[in-house]
Amino acid sequence: MPISGSNSRSILNYISGAQTRFAAIFGAIFVATFLLAFGFFITRIPVGSLAALLIVTAVSIVNRKQFLLCLKATNSDALVLWITILSCVFLSLDVAFYIGVVISITLYLKKAAIPQLIEYGIDDSGKWCSADAARKNDKKKIRVIKVKGELFFGAADLFQSTLKSIAEDDTTTKVIILQLKHARDLDATGCLALHQLYNYLQSSGRHLILSGLTFPTWEVLSNSALIDLIGKENLFFLNERRPHLHMKKALRRAESLLCATSTSLESESLDLAGENYLEARAD
């Protein structure tokens, strides 16, 4: 006897080995034929028997391996699964579906709102090393921070506060290179965080370089006028064929900025020494 004329029929057809779309048509024809020929007898079938038939069919539809996988994968997956199951028991099916979707999205946003910031430095030989090794070697004038994860509004506050704390705690750093190759979904809030970081570094005579830029990130930076603010000479695209080229260019740019800063400081020192000498002669 056909189970019903609902979506479960399509799943049952698929499990039974249906190959074409005509399986659904034939299923509908069989249901209509059964109702027309034996409709009188259907009204005499006990409701409890139909309920048992539906329960057995529902159990056969559940993929046990996938069910166990959802339970064992992560705690959040298990939580969503159990809440959805309980919602199906005590609420209507559509409400239970929306509850499961909303909880899944909420848990995802909670995880996505924590971007990863991995810091690198340069040792005495000029090679990349961990941040701790760079601190020991006192090579912190150039710091590279690799950003991984989402940079939408939910993660912008943590992103901004972390970068600002790095810039405030270390006054010896002159150039900060942000590698955005693995950063995704940059929005207006993330651009505002970059804008404030740039202004803070500029106010203290330091520089900001962005490397590993993808086209979507470049487009957002262009629309928010950050390209003109930071300068195209401080922005480096990601080349998929040469994935490390953008970091080499960013490092060369950072070294040139350091040289320019050193030259400017030496010039200011000479001017100050000259002024002091002239004042001494005048006295």
CATH number, residue 266: 3.30.750.24
Do 170 and 38 share a structural domain? no
Query: 18: how many CB neighbours lie within 10 A of its CB?
Result: 16
pLDDT at position 31: 79
pLDDT digits (tens, 9 = 90+) for 246-280: 888 888 888 888 887 655 544 444 444 444 433 44
**Relative orientation angle of helices 75-90 and 64-73, to the nearest 10 degrees:** 120
Do 181 and 253 share a domain, yes or no?
yes
β-strand partners of 211: 179
Q: Would 279 be classed as within a structural domain? A: no
The answer as to whether 150 is a domain residue is yes
* Residue 255 maps to a domain: yes
Q: How far apart are CA 45 and CA 35, in angstroms?
A: 13
The CA distance from 242 to 205, in Å, is 32
Domain-embedded: residue 276: no
Q: Both 76 and 29 in a single domain?
A: no
Do 125 and 259 have their domain in common? yes
Please spell the DSSP secondary structure of 210-248, one letter per residue: EEEE-HHHHHHHHHTTHHHHH-GGGEEE--SSSTTHHHH
Q: Within this chain, do residues 169 and 147 fall inside the same structural domain, yes or no?
A: yes
Say how far apart CA 270 and CA 198 lie, in whole Å.
29
Number of domains composing the chain: 3
| Same domain flag for 50 and 71 | no
Residue 64's pLDDT is what?
81
What are the distances in angstroms from CA 103 to CA 41, 97, 113, 236, 246? 44, 10, 15, 39, 39
Same domain, 254 and 129: yes
107 shares its domain with 118? no
Cα 182 from Cα 248, distance rounded (Å): 17
225/196 same-domain check:
yes
Is 137 a member of any domain? yes
Question: What per-residue confidence (pLDDT) applies to 264?
Answer: 53
Q: Fill in the amino acid letter for 101.
A: V
**pLDDT tens for each residue of 180-206:** 888 777 888 788 888 888 888 888 888
Residues 198 and 245 in one domain: yes
Residue with tokens 């199906």: 88
Global pTM exceeds 0.85:
no
Q: Say if CB 114 and CB 105 are below 8 A apart.
A: no
d(CA 106, CA 101): 9
283 domain residue, yes or no = no
Same domain, 122 and 132: yes
Q: Which domain holds residue 156?
A: 113-271
Neighbours of 220 (CB within 10 A): 19
Rounded mean pLDDT of the chain? 75
Residue 120 lies in a domain: yes
Report how far residue 118's alpha carbon sits from residue 154's, in angstroms, rounded to the nearest whole number: 19
Answer yes or no: do 56 and 75 share one domain: no
Cα–Cα separations (whole angstroms), residue 57 to 5, 20, 27, 98, 258? 13, 22, 16, 23, 72
pLDDT at res. 276 = 47
Residue at 77 is within a domain: yes
pLDDT < 70 stretches in the chain: 1-10, 113, 121-140, 152-160, 166-171, 261-283
pLDDT at 273: 42
